[in-house]
Structure 1
Amino acid sequence: MSTSLTAADLEFLRRPLHGFLTAAAGPLPPQPRPVWFEVTDDGTIQLFTAPDALKVRRLRDDPRASIVVAAPTGEREHWVSVAGRTTVETDGAGDLCARLGARYWDLDDPARAQELAGMLDEDWLRIVLHPEAVRRFEG
């Protein structure tokens, strides 16, 4: 275990893979959700979400969260898990949404481009996960 992402972790996390985010929920069992995410050059993980999302309420009560990202079926087992404290930011979420839409969708598809344009008209928050514990496996 380490407290920061390695160059190999960053390379892996820059692939368009889904992450599974879990917010601390006190006595409740964790409820992971698939999310689009971006790893930044400074090693934080960020994602966007609706202001009224349950994860926002949970993170405001308890900022601890984790994300697990795994290679898809057909590849050798490879995963990275990042746990730490989060911040909920009001700036930059729209730009992040646009970048992630281009990363995860083929925007040459008019339906996807239209869907992303509609998303960009909505209000979003940006969640930033600051790594405190990083675990990994590459088989």
Structure 2
Amino acid sequence: MSGFAVRDDGDLGWRSIASIDELFPNEVFSAVEPLPASPPEPSVEELSATAKEQRDKLLAVAANRMGPLQDAVDTGRATNEEVAQLAAWKGYRIDLNRIEQQEGFPAEILWPLSPDESSGPEPIKTPTE
């Protein structure tokens, strides 16, 4: 057993001991737990799978937003704004489908902004978790 003991007098601080039997009467034993190991870095395959899962979630959102716009275009009832929105969503969907072609994939991905987000800040380059 290994650990540390602290003196009650406070002047000498901590000292290393091999067992509780080595304690002096004025010391208290405190077991030292090993530090937890940091989790291993994800493999390229894991990073790729995580990125593709995120991409697929974003593609589902895009499909839900595009459906009504495409219906309006197909029936000839789309406004100019709806036609423009549909084109923007189609571009976003293309960009999502091309993330694997980015340099640095899958460790670093420049995620495209959706048309809903495009009026905000620039795309965020983040490592995949």
- Compute the TM-score of the two structures, normalised by the length of structure 1: 0.19
* Bigger share in strand: 1
- Higher relative contact order by CA 8 Å / sep ≥ 6: 1 or 2? 1
Structure number with larger C-alpha Rg: 2
* Bigger share in helix: 2
